[in-house]
Homo-oligomer: A and B are copies of this chain.
Amino acid sequence: MSEALDPEPAAPEPPQAEIFTLAVDAMGGDRAPEVVVNGIGIAAERHPEAKFLLVGDEARLLPLLLANKRARAACTVLHAPDTITGDCKPTAALRQRQASMRLAIDAVAEGRAQGVVSAGNTGALLALSKVVLKTLPGIDRPAMAAIMPSARGDVVMLDLGANVACDSRNLVEFALLGDMFARTVLGLTAPTIGLLNVGSEELKGDDRVRRAAEILRRSHIGNQFYGFVEGHDIPGGTTDVVVTDGFTGNVALKTGEGALKLATDLLRQIFSSSLSAKLGYLLAKPGLDQMKLWLDPRRYNGAVMLGLNGVVVKSHGGTDAEGFAHATDVAIDMVVHRFNDRIREGLGRLGEAMTEQYPLAAVR
């Protein structure tokens, strides 16, 4: 749908994988634009094929770029006079047409960039992306997805808060989006998919969730559908993808992160509590350092808005340059692997399955 806005109708669609540009909202996040510029410096080194359209206050960006050679070589600056603040409501954000976040998303809509990364206001990013980029044909609502550590490797979870309330159809769409995301970002060939529910013993479950399960079982990803999973299955890694509504997903993600932080904080206390414990730490250091690295929240930074006509990645606002670079990596992965083209194919097949067995009206 963004093609309609394209001022250069001759521009080829999709772009070649070898050359691509990411639009970056330079002004979003707690320590912007410093963290953003330094993050791009790190990402540029890892991805020499990537170009960056850095959108923000030119007067603040130029000195930072002068000090960072790698970022400077990979960036083009687009001046944006305004910034969307963290407490700005989505409706107010929509009116700020000269804000860095808006101009960065416009660049994707107009084909000047293939994806956008922002560490700014999540609600505004979601609202602007929906309005400017539109959702993919067949997708009702976009979802936020991210990666979490588990006992059996990384797990994709969605939705993480874009949709507080969801119906069966939304959950089915999230499963499809999650499937493609796991293939693209985790490199899996047939990711297993679980639908989050409460223990079947305790409760009858939830109509919405049971209907979504029924549709998924009969869809073209039916053989990847594991069935219901519970909270402990997320860190347990029972499935590669965990699908849920935005309220539950947001709470589960943050509870899991918080519990891991509790454990690592306890360990830090223990290993500094005595001379003997400090020595113990040194002896077990290789393993403990690996654990720390593996659970490092920066490694999981980069929540993706899935289901839009364009790649949109949200970085945590409080992250550092390394974390921002990781969010940039996620966006690059999705662009290089033509995530949205693959989603379009998958949606076509899901559409057939739904129309055959479940007329849309009955599903909702």
- Where the two chains meet, the residues of A that have a C-beta atom closer than 8 Å to any C-beta of B are 86-87, 121-123, 126, 149-151, 161, 164-165, 196, 198-199, 201-206, 230-236, 244, 246-248, 250-267, 269-271, 273-274, 276-277, 279-288, 290-291, 294-295
Contact = CB atoms under 8 A, between A and B. Distances in A.
Contacts of A161: 198-199, 202-203
A123 B201 CA distance: 7
18 contacts: A121-B201, A123-B201, A123-B203, A161-B202, A161-B203, A164-B203, A198-B250, A230-B250, A231-B258, A232-B255, A235-B259, A256-B256, A263-B264, A266-B291, A270-B288, A270-B290, A271-B287, A277-B284
Contacts of A151: 262, 265
A225 B58 CA distance: 45
B284 A258 contact: no
B250 A252 contact: no
Given A258-B236, A277-B283, A281-B280, A247 B201 contact: no
Given A231-B254, A234-B258, A255-B252, A247 B198 contact: yes
Nearest to A253: B231
A164 B232 contact: no
B251 A231 contact: yes
A327 to B, nearest CB: 16
B259 A256 contact: yes
A262 B149 contact: yes
Given A232-B254, A259-B260, A263-B264, 5 more contacts: A164-B204, A164-B206, A165-B206, A274-B287, A283-B283
A274 to B, nearest CB: 8
A283 B287 contact: no
The DSSP consensus for interface residues of chain A is helix
A-B interface, 7 closest residue pairs, ranked by CB to CB distance from nearest: A231-B254, A280-B283, A232-B258, A270-B287, A280-B284, A263-B263, A259-B259
Contact of A262 (B150, B276, B282): B150
A249 to B, nearest CB: 9
A256 to B, nearest CB: 4
Nearest to A289: B270
Given A262-B260, A280-B283, A123 B250 contact: no
A233 B276 CA distance: 32
Given A198-B250, A203-B123, A255 B235 contact: yes
A67 B333 CA distance: 64
Nearest to A205: B164
Contacts of A255: 231-232, 234-235, 252, 255-256, 259
A32 to B, nearest CB: 15
Contacts of A232: 254-255, 257-258, 261
B271 A284 contact: yes
Contacts of A253: 231
A266 B277 CA distance: 18
B250 A251 contact: no
Contacts of A273: 287
Nearest to A86: B201
